[in-house]
């Protein structure tokens, strides 16, 4: 479907691909549209919902500045999926032992790998130089959390918590897929928080002129701008590497339990919380996707539903008005606190019927009922992407 509503009144308009928007999200979108360096318009995807400062599901094109809080603290968070040469009938009837095997291979929640295990040593070495360069200029990063210099290595190839997950899915042809969602873990969170605060400090008294202090920005050419660009790109690379290492560990674990298989070439690894330099409407711009994926013409992407809903492998149509973007998922309909008040574990059991997963109070905030209807979200972005595969999970690992 085309753009459903347009907000005016800011420096630029806001073009929204749904009419299902929380009023608080509309305020956040309007706030972003007031910033002097936002270029052209702001685009809001069908999964749009309230974030911190910047709305989740927003695509923010800027010229000469970046908003660190719009990129967020889970820098480079995104998806990875790969199709296996297995069919549904080759999976065991009881998937619980398989879930435990995956949970043993990939630490979840606050857990991490033991020293010397997890990510390949060559991978750790490849990432080390970039971080050393960043902390040499900003040693305060290492003071924000205990054992930062060791933990980032131990967290490579780990899931984390919240809405991060690992799933075994079946597509419309009964082919088996492995799909996962994670980002830059603790080190990305630290880098994000460090530069968000630095942007506030750099703005000084001008911070009071912003509609929201979480929209503090770094100007191109200012003292810390290049350092942030360097740090955010490193964190995005870390997130991509983290997903790649997790997928390697998962496939190794599955290979010990399932019939022999190969991973097909149809593999996708894409960010949905990140900033990149792109060319749109004749200009080189910084494009921040806060809960949105790139959907350029021919780009393959992943749009997951909730724990009990369908997910989609999509191909981008390169729609200019969305800055070649689409949604990053279903999008939350209610906050985590609201979900815990509204639902109980029996609701979770009912809404995840047929899925091998945790069904306890610890993951109640991720219940499918807390999310928007993924089918409605997909219908609202038919101008942005075409569906290549429809996936339904049969096993889900949560942190």
One digit per residue, the tens of pLDDT, for the chain of length 399 reads 899 999 999 999 999 999 999 999 999 999 999 999 999 999 999 999 999 989 999 999 999 999 999 999 999 999 999 999 999 999 999 999 999 999 999 999 999 999 888 888 999 999 999 999 999 999 999 999 999 999 999 999 999 999 999 999 999 999 999 999 999 999 999 999 999 999 999 999 999 999 999 999 999 999 999 999 999 999 999 999 999 999 999 999 999 999 999 998 668 999 999 999 999 999 999 999 999 999 999 999 999 998 889 999 999 999 999 999 999 999 999 999 999 999 999 999 999 999 999 999 999 999 999 999 999 999 999 999 999 999 999 999 997
> Within its chain, how far is the Cα of 142 from the centroid?
24
d(CA 399, CA 47): 23
| 52 SS3 class | coil
Sequence-ordered list of residues with C-beta below 8 angstroms from that of 204, at least 6 positions apart, any chain: none
Buried b (16+ CB within 10 A) or exposed e, 230-241: ebbbbbbbbbbb
Q: Which residue has the tokens 């007031």?
A: 34
Beta strand pairing call for 14-16 and 42-49: parallel
What is residue 117's predicted lDDT score, i.e. its pLDDT?
A: 85
What is residue 340's predicted lDDT score, i.e. its pLDDT?
A: 94
Q: Which of 113, 164, 328, 389 is catalytic?
A: 328
pTM for the model stands at 0.96
Partnered with residue 278 across adjacent β-strands are: 285
- Report the run of H or E that residue 59 belongs to, with start and end: strand 56-62
User: By C-alpha distance, which of 153, 154, 151, 158 is closest to 106?
Assistant: 158
Express the helix, strand and coil content of the chain in percent, nearest 5 each. 35, 25, 35
Domain ranges of the chain: 5-333+371-398
| CATH class name, domain 5-333+371-398 | alpha beta
Question: Residue 227 in contact with residue 131, Cβ under 8 Å?
Answer: no
Can 271 be counted among the known catalytic residues?
no
What is residue 265's predicted lDDT score, i.e. its pLDDT?
A: 67
Tokens linked to 150: 């060791």
d(CA 60, CA 280): 12
**Packing angle of the helix pair 96-105, 225-255 (nearest 10 deg):** 140
d(CA 58, CA 47): 9
Q: What is the DSSP string of 254-305?
A: HHTTSS---EEEEEEEEESEEEEEEEETTEEEEEEEESEEE--TT-EEEE--
d(CA 246, CA 182): 9
């Amino acid at each position: 479907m085309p753009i459903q509503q347009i907000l005016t009144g800011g420096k630029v308009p806001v073009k929204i691909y749904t009419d299902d928007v929380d009023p608080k999200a509309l305020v956040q979108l309007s706030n972003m549209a007031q910033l002097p360096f936002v270029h052209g318009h702001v685009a809001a995807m069908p999964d749009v919902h309230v974030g911190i400062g910047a709305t989740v599901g927003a695509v923010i094109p800027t010229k000469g500045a970046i908003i660190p809080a719009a990129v967020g603290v889970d820098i480079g968070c995104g998806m990875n999926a790969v199709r296996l040469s297995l069919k549904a009938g080759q999976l065991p009837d009881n998937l619980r032992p398989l879930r435990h095997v995956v949970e043993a291979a990939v630490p979840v929640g606050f857990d991490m790998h033991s020293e010397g295990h997890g990510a390949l040593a060559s991978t750790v070495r490849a990432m080390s130089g970039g971080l050393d360069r960043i902390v040499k200029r900003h040693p305060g990063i290492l003071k924000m959390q205990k054992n930062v210099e060791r933990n980032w290595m131990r967290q490579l190839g780990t899931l984390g918590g919240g809405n991060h997950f690992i799933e075994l899915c079946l597509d419309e042809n009964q082919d088996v897929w492995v799909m996962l969602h994670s980002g830059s873990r603790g080190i990305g969170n630290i880098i994000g928080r460090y530069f968000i605060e630095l942007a506030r400090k750099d703005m000084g008294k001008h911070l009071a002129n912003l509609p929201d202090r979480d929209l503090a920005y770094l100007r191109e050419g200012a003292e810390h701008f290049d350092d942030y660009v360097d740090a955010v790109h490193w964190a995005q690379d870390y997130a991509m590497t983290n997903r790649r290492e997790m997928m390697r560990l998962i496939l190794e674990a599955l290979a010990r339990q399932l019939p022999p298989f190969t991973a097909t070439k149809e593999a996708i690894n894409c960010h949905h919380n990140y900033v990149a330099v792109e060319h749109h409407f004749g200009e080189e711009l910084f494009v921040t996707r806060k809960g949105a994926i790139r959907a350029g013409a021919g780009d393959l992407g992943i749009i997951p539903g909730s724990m009990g809903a369908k997910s989609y492998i999509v191909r981008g149509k390169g729609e200019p008005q969305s800055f070649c973007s689409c949604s990053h998922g279903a999008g939350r309909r209610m906050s985590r606190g609201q979900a815990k008040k509204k639902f109980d574990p029996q609701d979770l059991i009912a809404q995840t019927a047929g899925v091998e997963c945790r069904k306890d109070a610890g993951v109640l905030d991720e219940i499918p009922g807390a999310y928007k209807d993924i089918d409605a979200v997909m219908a609202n972005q038919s101008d942005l992407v075409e569906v290549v595969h429809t996936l339904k999970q049969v096993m889900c690992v949560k942190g």
